[in-house]
Amino acid sequence: MGAREAAPAVRAETLVPGGRASANRRGQAAARRRGRARRERRGGATVRRAVITGVGAVTPAGVGATALQGAAAAGRSLISRLDGQEYAGLPVQIGGRISDFDVSDRLPAGLARRLDPVQHWAIAAADEALAQAGAPRPDGAETPLPWERHRVAVIAATGSGPVDAMQAATRALDARGPRAVPLSLAMHGAPDAAAALLSQRYDLRGPGQGVSATCASGAIGLGEAQRRIRHGYADAVLVVGMEDCLNAVNLASNANLRALAAGYEDRPGAASRPFDRARAGFVMSQGAGAILLEPEESAVRRGAPILGVLAGFGASSDAHHATAPHPEGRGAAAAVAECLADAGLEPDAVDHINAHGTGTPAGDRAELLAFAAALGERAREIPISATKSSTGHLLGAAGIVEAIISLGALADGILPPTINLEDPEFEGWNFVANEPRSASIGSVLSTSFGFGGHNGAVLITRPDRMGAA
């Protein structure tokens, strides 16, 4: 969120300026009014709680949501040096890379060759999420599902989509001419292609779509799913977030923007440093995450595991700059306030924050300003984790991946640490620094902010923590 050179001149001690208190209160009151108005507009219509009954992940931590949650809870860095000729000469040669994934037991060899690796990961994550939710393996249209097929929607959230396939096709075109470009690119080369692939794999006949909003894609995809469940447009929604930008072009572009942490090739695990005085940018990672949502009554009726409730969602745009965040966190604050209003909850109901926290000087500062504006005095009391310090930044998949991490914190009572937070720039904040912290929590606010000013926030609660539908 924001390039390094765009950092606003705001001192750490002014992050909760007294002069803005009345404006902050007005903003919170306005969000509450919008929430009340939205609930009134629902009238007598049935409004259903959207619960999470399945999760899956393929990340640098390994295959499976449990591996991801365990790595984040332990504060284990997943960042390594990127070896290979492709990365030689790049100004940044580190990232969070998947190293132990085998697609051969999931897809026929011919189909696997036609798909981008990011789509392989998305399929594996979706398989895991659906299996946990109680759906059968993808054996065809005759295999019964817990829901009517035309009532199951699929959302693919990504910032860039199948980048590797697109770049490989470009190289083939340059080297051998037009006939070398694979026709599979026309079929599977769009950002939303994973939604179609998963619909076909499971014979899911509800709406399929892509959501692309840079680093807020995953959070906004979850919000769209929650709304479909809440208002009866679907009886289940599979949301998959995926990203792979660990290639020379994307690394060089972001390094030239001075958005990436540079100079850490000899100690890659120390590169991602959210909220630390020495932070110098984010670290790219690759991977996919999947979440299955359905109405609470459906999950209860069929005895499915309820991992959490997607109680609130808010989104906004900064309308400010192509890469830099609004210097006072205006759009981010609006998304957080809208999220709480959507849940029908006050700031005191937030027990933990999984911050966007990428480690850019401008972005981290603006995010704390946003928390102060949206949450008031409560902002400094809430334990804050920035798990990108361990996982790196999965860009469009980050919102899904960090929601899965948040579900782990709710279930296990372990708040994941912000590693590398050796010299916090901002005093008076309740950072979970360097070591995990035990805490019984009932809710997690997870935020995602992206280039272009895209903002998303979700509030996930334990099933026994009541909020709005």
Q: How far is CA 87 from its chain centroid?
A: 26
Q: Could you confirm whether 215 is annotated as catalytic?
A: yes
Nearest alpha-carbon partner for 240 in 361, 118, 147: 118
Torsion angle, CA of 191/193/195/197, rounded to 10 degrees?
-150
* Residue 433 vs residues 1, 153, 418, 425: alpha-carbon distances, Å: 21, 39, 5, 12
Q: Could you confirm whether 356 is annotated as catalytic?
A: yes
Torsion angle, CA of 98/412/377/356, rounded to 10 degrees?
10
* Residue 398 vs residues 30, 100, 334, 456: alpha-carbon distances, Å: 29, 20, 20, 11
**398, amino acid identity:** A
User: Which of 326, 352, 356, 454 is an active site residue?
Assistant: 356
Q: Round to whole Å and give the CA distance between 85 and 239.
A: 35
Cβ distance 101 to 120 under 8 Å? Answer: yes
Place of tokens 């492709």: 86
Cβ distance 396 to 243 under 8 Å? Answer: yes
Q: Round to whole Å and give the CA distance between 254 and 258.
A: 6
User: Which of 188, 320, 326, 393 is an active site residue?
Assistant: 393
Q: Round to whole Å and give the CA distance between 77 and 48.
A: 38
Q: Round to whole Å and give the CA distance between 218 and 236.
A: 17
Residue 58: other Cβ atoms inside 10 A: 33
* CA-based max dimension of the chain: 65
User: Which of 120, 215, 245, 339 is an active site residue?
Assistant: 215
Cβ distance 215 to 371 under 8 Å? Answer: no
Residues serving a catalytic function are: 215, 356, 393
